């Protein structure tokens, strides 16, 4: 069965919301340099410097930044987008549809009438077992180079995600929960293809949304499209860059942090004659984990706003009719009601 994702059609079904060119020319301020950093450097002056910049981004309620990172070799990124991703999307539809999940929008997405968008997801993308089982699903006869490239990419990006998350937890004063949180998370790699548009008009293909994830790292390949909503309410185009990764806070981290960290609203607008490829690498809670706010993040000034929740239930709610109608799916799913406060 081909699943339908009506929210993906937002840009096409709401011509009023199409925009000719939403690209903002605002100067780009959010580049944080992770070059030479690793988790072992936690506490060093270089680490503290980047963490201070991250705290500034969070304090300004921007909740996104571009991480310059040398932990993924240029050749690996080139191999992933130049060959591997193309080889994957060239597979027959019935093969790609084998990529299924218990969570909406976490398996193959595509074949949506009027929309040339496809995505596939590798689960446990940082582990060799995860990339191997995805590879075997797509190529039962094997495809070692695909498996190696995707696994290396996933593993190396998981290092960046951990540095970012550790710094965020340090900033909140709850780094003692970092190891336990690591054991409760897994990583997914979604590879997406946005077909060239026949019309030159730029169109919002992925409507404004916040990710359900803990932390998302978006990797754009050559063709721009990702836009974030700035604190001033402007859509800002994030330019693709060969050595950086766009970090966005997701709703699972918003929930875990009792709303101290806010999920970042973003969208994808494409136009023109180039097919666009991107990879979305993200941490998210494992299926059987109950996400619970640490007690240090609840006090008089910050009363508990989210009840414990599970990721699969939340994701499926987010994509349900009720969840899609809601302005704030996390609050609708597990928000503490006013009359429950102090109960
Ligand atoms: O393709 C991109 O640049 C970002 C896609 C995205 O936001 C998503 O898939 O959640
Ligand atoms: Fe997203």
Q: What is d(CA 25, CA 27) in angstroms, rounded to the nearest whole number? A: 6
Alpha carbon of 206 to ligand 2 centroid (Å): 8
pLDDT of residue 280: 98
CA distances from 34 to 70, 226, 241, 255 (A): 7, 21, 15, 26
- 179 pLDDT higher than 70: yes
Task: Indicate if the alpha-carbon torsion angle 304, 308, 311, 315 is positive or negative.
Answer: negative
Mean pLDDT of 7-16: 36
Mean pLDDT score of the chain: 90
Instruction: Average the pLDDT over 134-152 and give the result.
Output: 97
Residue 154: C-alpha distances to residues 25, 42, 97, 230 (Å):
32, 22, 22, 29
Is 278 close to ligand 1, i.e. is its CB under 6 Å away?
Answer: yes
For residue 192, give both structure tokens.
């997406």
Q: CA 175, CA 200: separation in Å to the nearest integer?
A: 48
Asked whether 124 lines ligand 1 (CB < 6 A), one says no
The 8-class DSSP code of residue 104 comes to T
More confident site: 212 or 15: 212
Provide the 3-class DSSP secondary structure of residue 190. strand
Percentage of residues of the chain with pLDDT beyond 90: 80
With a 6 Å cutoff on the Cβ, whether 266 touches ligand 1 is yes
Q: Name the DSSP letter for residue 342.
A: T
Class level of CATH domain 6-340:
mainly beta
Strand 235-237 to strand 309-310: parallel, antiparallel, or no bridges (unpaired)? Answer: unpaired
Q: Roughly how many angstroms between the first and final C-alpha of the chain, as a whole number?
A: 45
User: Which protein residue's CA is at the shortest distance from atom 1 of ligand 1?
Assistant: 278
Residue 271's pLDDT band, with cuts at 50, 70 and 90, is confident
Q: Is the CB of 120 under 6 A from ligand 1?
A: no
| Ligand 1 pocket: which of 85, 103, 188, 206 to mutate (most atoms within 8 A of CB) | 206
Within a 10 A sphere around the Cβ of 6, how many other Cβ atoms? 11
pLDDT at 2 over 80: no
Q: What local confidence, expressed as pLDDT, does residue 231 receive?
A: 81
What atom of ligand 1 comes closest to residue 211's alpha carbon?
A: 10
State the pLDDT at residue 339: 67
pLDDT (average), residues 28-56: 93
Q: What's the pLDDT score for residue 5?
A: 41
pLDDT score of 29: 62
* Residue found by looking up tokens 């109608």 in the block: 325
Residue 203 token pair? 């169109």
Predicted local confidence at residue 30, as pLDDT:
83
Which ligand sits closest to the CA of 251? 2
Query: What span, in angstroms and rounded, lies between the C-alpha atoms of 153 and 167?
Result: 22
Mean pLDDT of 241-256: 97
Token pair, residue 132, equals: 């191997």
Q: What pLDDT band is residue 272 in, cutting at 50, 70 and 90?
A: confident
212 lines ligand 1 (CB under 6 A): no
Cβ contacts of 106 within 8 Å, gap of 6 or more: 121, 123, 188, 315
Tell me which of 184 and 7 has the higher pLDDT.
184
Specify the range with the lowest mean pLDDT, choosing from 112-121, 193-202, 257-266, 298-307.
193-202
Ligand 1 touching residue 215 (CB < 6 A) = no
Ligand 1 nearest-atom number relative to CA 192: 1
Q: Does ligand 1 lie within 6 Å of residue 226's CB atom?
A: yes
Give the residue-averaged pLDDT of 35-61. Answer: 95
pLDDT band at 4 (very low <50, low <70, confident <90, very high): very low
Question: What separation in Å is there between the alpha carbon of 282 and the centre of ligand 1?
Answer: 11
Q: What are phi and psi of 40, to 5 degrees?
A: -65, -20
The pLDDT of residue 146 is 97
């Amino acid at each position: 069965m081909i699943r339908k994702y009506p929210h993906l059609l937002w840009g096409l079904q709401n011509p009023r919301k199409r925009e000719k060119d939403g690209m903002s020319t605002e100067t780009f301020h959010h580049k944080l340099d992770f070059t030479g950093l690793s988790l072992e450097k936690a506490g060093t002056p270089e680490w503290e410097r980047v963490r201070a910049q991250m705290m500034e981004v969070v304090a300004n309620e921007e909740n996104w930044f571009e991480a310059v990172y040398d932990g993924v070799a240029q050749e690996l990124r080139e191999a992933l987008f130049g060959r591997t991703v193309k080889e994957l999307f060239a597979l027959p539809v019935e093969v790609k549809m084998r990529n299924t999940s218990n969570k909406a929008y976490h398996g193959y997405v595509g074949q949506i009438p009027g929309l040339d968008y496809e995505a596939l997801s590798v689960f446990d993308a940082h582990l060799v077992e995860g990339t191997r089982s995805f590879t075997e699903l797509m190529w039962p006869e094997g495809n070692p180079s695909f498996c190696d490239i995707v696994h290396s990419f996933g593993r190396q990006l998981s290092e960046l995600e951990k540095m970012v998350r550790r710094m965020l937890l340090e900033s909140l004063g709850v780094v003692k929960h970092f190891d336990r949180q690591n054991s409760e998370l897994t990583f997914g790699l979604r590879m997406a293809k946005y077909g060239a548009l026949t019309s030159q008009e730029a169109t919002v293909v992925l409507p404004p949304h916040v990710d359900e994830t803990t932390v998302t790292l978006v990797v754009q390949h050559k063709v721009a499209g990702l836009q974030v909503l700035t604190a001033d309410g402007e859509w800002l185009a994030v330019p693709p860059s060969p050595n950086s990764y766009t970090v966005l806070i997701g709703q699972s981290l918003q929930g875990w942090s009792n709303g101290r960290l806010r999920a970042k609203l973003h969208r994808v607008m494409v136009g023109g004659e180039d097919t666009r490829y991107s990879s979305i690498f993200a941490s998210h809670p494992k299926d059987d984990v109950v996400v619970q706010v640490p007690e240090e993040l609840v006090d008089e000034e910050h009363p508990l706003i989210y009840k414990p929740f599970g990721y699969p239930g939340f994701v499926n709610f987010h994509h349900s009719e009720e969840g899609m109608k809601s302005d704030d799916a996390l609050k609708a799913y597990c928000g503490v009601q006013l009359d429950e406060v102090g109960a």
